[in-house]
Amino acid sequence: MAKQKILIIYYTQTGQLKRIIDRVVTPLQAQADIVYEEIIPVQPFTFPWDKQTFYDTMPETVLGRPRGVQPLKVNPDEHFDLVILAYQPWFLSPSQPTAAFLQSEGAARLLKGKKVLTLIGARNMWLNAQEKVKTYLHQAGAQLVGNIALVDTSPNLISVMTVLRWQFKGQKEATRYLPPAGVQEKEIQAADRFAAPIAQALQQGSWEQLHPQLRQQDAVTLKPNLVVLEDRGIRAFRYWSKFISAKGGPGAPERQGRVSMYRGLLLLGIFVLTPITKISSMITLLVKRNQLLQEVEYFKGIDLRAEK
């Protein structure tokens, strides 16, 4: 019997996402031929980031106007039984390399009619990014059959401090007062538990139960307050994206004053307003409990909400 074929498409700056991918798919190597395709930007994003460059990257990320990427080496007409799309959110949106790939002609050819599993490595907010990815996949004619979202389980403000330290200083390791940045090591090591439901779906050629089985393995966990927090965050990002980009494209000197203004207000909002927002989200959960729990259930799933 011929082996199944899995294509993995990914972009990672730090290597953490590649470690997660390997942990998930290594148990599948006996039954599947696995092809890795790394998304490579035409103009690389440096890591660690320069602070101003990092914040200047936000508008085009949120507006879906990404920097170009090189074509994948794989034949876009080649058959694959499953495509795993692994990505990180940037500014509550798909990373620019991921968005650039999904908007490309090659992606439209490659993904049409394919079964796709999304694999996310995130700080803790990935809902809006996944909605955009679901839209891109729908437009390409792909079928989303499952989602795995591994996140940093530290408290929100702690994870903000550790990820900023990682982004700007390249330091992932724990310090005296802060834990390591990123997805916890124990979560990465336990990610091989997702291989069994994927293997079963491949063997049986039946995909309807894959995501429910992944959810039974805690592939997607979501706190209700993060739904409220992310909704408010993406609204602010969309406003600032338009405000900044009105002064020119990425790196334009004319827009750097607005980038700096956004940078300062963002940090103020995170460290001053986050506790207030958490309280307000708790009130929202009490007042609109059923509605918010419905939103949680929707985001844990893989369906794409119909446009109103």
CATH number, domain with residue 90: 3.40.50.360
Residue type, 235: R
Are both 32 and 158 inside the same structural domain? yes
Question: What is the extent of the structural domain holding 259?
Answer: 226-295
Q: Are 128 and 116 found together in one domain?
A: yes
Span 197-204, average pLDDT: 96
Q: Based on the fold, state whether residues 46 and 61 are members of the same structural domain.
A: yes
**217 and 241 inside one domain:** no
- The pLDDT value recorded for residue 280 is 72
- Residue 204's pLDDT is 93
Task: Please state, for a pLDDT cut of 70, what percent of the chain lies above it.
Answer: 96
Is the domain of 190 the same as that of 265?
no
Share of the chain above pLDDT 90, in %: 83
> Using an 8 Å Cβ cutoff, are 33 and 3 in contact?
yes
Q: Which residue has better confidence, 105 or 279?
A: 105
Q: Is residue 307 part of a domain?
A: no
273-275-277 Cα angle (round to 5)? 65
Which one is predicted more confidently, 279 or 247? Answer: 247
190 and 135 within one domain: yes
pLDDT grade for 274, boundaries at 50, 70 and 90: low
Instruction: Write down which residue in 187, 222, 257 finishes a domain.
Output: 222
Contact 270, 160 (CB under 8 A): yes
Residue 282 lies in a domain: yes
Asked if 214 and 232 sit in the same domain, the reply is: no
Confidence of residue 293 (pLDDT cuts 50, 70, 90): confident
Mark whether 265 and 188 lie in a shared domain.
no
3-state secondary structure the chain: CCCEEEEEEECCCCCHHHHHHHHHHHHHCCCEEEEEEECCECCCCCCCCCHHHHHHCHHHHHHCCCCCECCCCCCCCCCCCEEEEEECEECCEECHHHHHHHCCHHHHHHHCCCEEEEEEEECCCCHHHHHHHHHHHHHHCCEEEEEEEEECCCCHHHHHHHHHHHHHHCCCCCCCCCCCCCCCHHHHHHHHHHHHHHHHHHHHCCCCCHHHHHHHCCCCCCCHHHHHHHHHHHHHHHHHHHHHHCCCCCCCHHHHHHHHHHHHHHHHHHHHHHHHHHHHHHHHHHHCHHHHHHHHHHHHCCCCCCCC
- Which residues fall within 8 angstroms of residue 185, CB to CB, at 6 or more apart? none
CB neighbours (10 Å) of residue 190?
A: 14
Give tens-digit pLDDT for 87-97: 999 999 999 99
Q: What is the mean pLDDT of residues 258-282?
A: 80
Q: Are residues 197 and 290 in the same domain?
A: no
Residues 81 and 202: beta-carbon distance below 8 Å: yes
Q: Assess whether 158 and 204 both reside in one domain.
A: yes
d(CA 220, CA 148): 6
Last residue of a domain, one of 222, 251, 275: 222
| Cα three-residue angle 302-305-308, rounded to 5 degrees | 175
Residue 153 is assigned to a structural domain of this protein: yes
Specify the pLDDT at position 75. 93
Does residue 270 surpass a pLDDT of 90? no
Chosen domain end from 222, 251, 279 = 222
**For residue 308, what pLDDT is reported?**
45
Specify if 308 maps to a domain.
Answer: no
- d(C-alpha 38, C-alpha 8), whole Å: 8
Bridge partners (DSSP) listed for residue 202: none
**Within a 13 Å sphere around the CA of 22, how many CA atoms are in the beta-carbon half?**
7
99 and 218 housed in the same domain: yes
Asked whether residue 303 is assigned to any structural domain, the reply reads no
CA dihedral 42, 142, 95, 98 (to 10 degrees): -20
pLDDT in tens, 120-179: 999 999 999 999 999 999 999 999 999 999 999 998 889 999 999 999 999 999 998 999
Residue 118 is assigned to a structural domain of this protein: yes
Count up the domains in the chain and report the number: 2
Predicted TM-score (pTM) of the model is: 0.94
